[in-house]
Each structure stands twice: as C-alpha cells, then as structure tokens.
Amino acid sequence: MKNRVSDRVELLLPGRFEDPTTAYGYQRTVFEQVASGARPATVSITPSSRHVGVTRRDTFRLGFDEAVRACYGEGYPVLVRGSGGGATAADGGTFGFSITRPADGREAGRGVRDRYDEAAALVLGAFARLGVRTEVGEVRDEFCPGDHSIRVGGWREGMKLVGIAQRVTRRATSVGGIVLVHGEAALARILEKVYGAMSLPFRPASVGSLRRAGLGAGTEEVVEAFAAETESRYGAARIPLDERTLELARRSGGQHLVPHG
C-alpha cells in the first residue's frame, strides 16, 4: 500500500503474545507501518504478557537498577515503552489498546489533549457497554500519573482502572493505555517495589481493576467490548495479523528489553 488512507480505520486483535518482547515489537511495527503509509489508521487491542513497562526517563532515575533487579526477582521482565508517563505493570489480567494515525491531514492539527480525550472516550464507551460507571481523573499517588486516568472514586482514595499515554512523532501519533481487569494485588506489589526503588510516590490501593469495581467478566469479554466500541465509533474493519508484521515484531522486540543484572 503506497498511499496513505486517512479515512479508513483497521482493527487489529492479535491475541496474547507469549513473549512480552514480541508484544512490544508488534506495537513498534504497527506504529512504523502507519508512519510510512504501509498501513492506515489502526486501533489495536492486545491482551498482555507479564512484564513491567518503564519510560526512557525512568532509565535515568536513581534507583532504576534496583527496580530492575526487583522486577526480575519477581518474574517480571522489564521493557522500555515508546510513550511517556511512568512505570506500569501487566499480567494475564490486563490488556493494552492503542489508536495510531499518520501525522498528516486532520491529525496534524490536533493537540495532545485532543488525543487524550479521544482515548478516554473510547474507554468510557466500552465500559458503558459492560455496565461499569467510571470517570476521567487522576487518583492520589497512582502509577503512571496523569489527569486522563480512568478511575472509580475520587482523587484521594479512588482507584485507577486505566492509564493512558501517547507517543507523537513527525510521521505518526499513537495514544492508548493499559486496562486492568483483574489481578491487581500482584501488580500493586511489584509496582510498590518499582516506585519505592526510584523514590517516587505510590499508593498500592490506587491500583484498581474492573473486578474490584464489581465486574465479573474476564479479559476476553472486556476486550470484545472494546472491539465493539471501536467498530461502532470508527466504522473499523477487523483484519487478521499478517505473518510479515508478526515476523517484524519478533525481530524488533528485543530492542525494548532491559537486561537483567
């Protein structure tokens, strides 16, 4: 595909990658494909593999090496994300989503807040399909702090269900986040070690989940609600993950991995 197609949106649902490095390589590959015009605007929804995701800024913090050792000691590989924000943790009870577009045409005139608002609206729409009432707003001492977190409860004692971050280059933009369905206790434990090692504020009870919010659905059901909301909101067409993209993901994923020790 040589020409950009700005008025079409594809929906990718690749399923869970066994290796988190492949998952990161997949995100990188899709971003680069959209940036080059080889793929149109794309929404991707991907169940997580166990890992801790850090930012490039985190890698320069005092205590980062201690944080990495703690993660590997608990069986969590550490990978560097392309987006901003702060450290996140993921496991079988979480999934990620992203909205990636070429940075031309209408997208060139949009601002950072516009993209955050768009991602938050997608999340709220999907949660409404599941009968879960949430709102946009930061909670006190949360992981990956930001005013476009999706929460239950207020700032002081609320819990975070979704963290949203974005990446912007001259050729493409991407906004998305991580959705916590269940397994929040284990994620809070590892994040407490990560944030503690880097002397950053963190409140374990801020790590929420849809399970804690009263939803009995599993990850697959929540992913499907996001997919249905994407189809409705964008008129997106579901497409299969092609072998070329998968192979590129496998090749490039290792670049994100922080070595142990």
Domain with residue 79: its CATH number is 3.30.930.10
Residue 46: count of CB within 10 angstroms of its CB: 22
pLDDT score, position 1: 33
Residue 4: predicted pLDDT: 37
Please write the tens of the pLDDT for every residue from 64-113: 999 999 999 999 999 999 888 899 999 999 999 999 999 988 888 899 99
Instruction: Give the chain's residues under pLDDT 50.
Output: 1-6
Whether residue 2 is contained in a domain is answered as no
Helix (H) or strand (E) holding 64: helix 64-73
pLDDT tens digit sequence for 130-151: 999 999 999 999 999 999 999 9
pTM here?
Answer: 0.94
Domain count, the chain: 1
52 lies in a domain? yes
Non-local CB neighbours of 8 within 8 Å, separated by 6+ positions: 40, 41, 237
Domain assignment of residue 3, yes or no: no
At position 40, the amino acid (one-letter code) is: P
Whether 113 is in a domain gets the answer yes
Edge-first strand listing for the sheet containing 88-90? 78-80, 51-54, 88-90
The answer to whether residue 70 sits within a structural domain is yes
Residue 195 placed within a domain: yes
Structural domain of 35: 9-253
Q: Which two tokens stand for residue 39?
A: 């793929």
Structure tokens of 129? 């399909």
Q: How many CB atoms lie within 10 A of CB 44?
A: 22
Q: What is the pLDDT of residue 13?
A: 98
What pLDDT, on a 0 to 100 scale, did the predictor assign at position 108?
A: 86
| Structure tokens belonging to residue 175 | 């906004």
62 domain residue, yes or no: yes
Local structure of residue 41 (DSSP, 8 states): E
Q: Is residue 260 part of a domain?
A: no
